[in-house]
Amino acid sequence: MILITKPNKDYELLDSGEGEKLERFGNVVLSRPDPQALWRKKMSEKEWKSADAIFSREGQDGKWKKKVSTLEKWKIDFAGLNFSIKPTAFKHTGLFPEQASNWEWMRGLVTKEINEINKKEAKEILEIEILNLFGYTGGATLVCAQAGAKVTHVDSSKSAITWARENAENSELKDKPIRWIEDDARDFVKREIKRERKYDAIIMDPPAFGHGPKRELWKIENDFINLVEDCIKLLSEKPLFFIINGYSAGYSAIAYENNLKILEERFGGKIEMGELAIEEKGEEKDSGRLLPCGIFARWSRG
């Protein structure tokens, strides 16, 4: 399965190739590296060089060359939310557009479940609780909160959480029931197991390599399996979904799918897996090329 993000009002992949991609975020055009773009560019060199900001690497470091020095932050509407876009020293912008299909999937599952709960007219208030690990700037968190779930958002970066909270305010969701937690994902999950907390859904986007807030070392090859197993211990008796996204070079979506098979055996439902991609802006009605952006595996109760 390939989940595709198509060009829309505030975001377009204009061109890609030769290890780079050219994107429009709102009214701002950015050029930045992308090793997956292993083909020739379509647009002219002049068009590429006319970008508002171009990211270039100098040795181990990288920096943005901006046409306007005040180009630090701006807002765009995307996937029903309002994001602050900020070009960072790591070439990121705070938004991964390829996640739009996954967000829509989550929104649909949460909305459907809440509607089912409301139909039953339960005497006690039933809530959907979701755990988002490695939550970054909050896209998945905000989609689920917007749909009516309670969300615990965990990230080891204080600046990422600040950015996520800013996106919540931008999207008029700052008063939604979201817990913002700065912590190492592994440590937080282990404490939640001891507290006997339960969640109806889990989202995770583990990096290949990273550090916790106290410089705890994370390596996906060493830590991923144990984290998934611990997360499964946190699931409620009737969980809604579990999704894993991946950007680690060399891994297949099949590897993630294999970790979710226990959920299919225990709860039924179904597993889907595949690639995430962004479609280039095409000519007139023609579709553009697909830029591969990552992998995913997701289980839902059905």
169 phi and psi, to 5 degrees?
A: -65, -45
User: Which pLDDT tens digit goes with each residue over 1-38?
Assistant: 999 999 999 999 999 999 999 999 999 999 999 999 99
Q: What is the pTM of this model?
A: 0.93
**Fold type of domain 99-300:** Rossmann fold (3.40.50)
192 pLDDT above the threshold of 80: yes
Spatial separation of the C-alpha atoms in residues 175 and 203, rounded to whole Å: 21
Spatial separation of the C-alpha atoms in residues 39 and 62, rounded to whole Å: 23
Looking at residue 283, what is its pLDDT? 72
How many Cα atoms sit within 13 Å of 123 on the Cβ side? 0
Spatial separation of the C-alpha atoms in residues 167 and 164, rounded to whole Å: 5
Which residues in the chain belong to E strands, given as ranges? 2-5, 11-17, 20-25, 28-33, 53-58, 61-66, 74-78, 81-85, 129-133, 150-155, 178-182, 201-204, 209-211, 217-219, 241-246, 270-279, 290-300
* Lowest-pLDDT range of 123-137, 204-218, 255-269: 204-218
Q: Are strands 61-66 and 53-58 parallel, antiparallel or unpaired?
A: antiparallel
246 phi and psi, to 5 degrees?
A: -140, 140
**Fold type of domain 2-85:** Immunoglobulin-like (2.60.40)
Q: Where are the domains of the chain?
A: 2-85, 99-300
41 phi and psi, to 5 degrees?
A: -70, 155
* Cα-trace Rg, the chain: 20
User: Which pLDDT tens digit goes with each residue over 152-180?
Assistant: 999 999 999 999 999 999 999 999 999 99
Q: Which two tokens stand for residue 252?
A: 């297949």
User: Which pLDDT tens digit goes with each residue over 82-135?
Assistant: 999 999 988 999 999 999 999 999 999 999 999 887 776 655 557 899 999 999
Contact between residue 248 and residue 220 where contact means Cβ atoms under 8 Å apart: yes
Fold match between domain 2-85 and domain 99-300: no
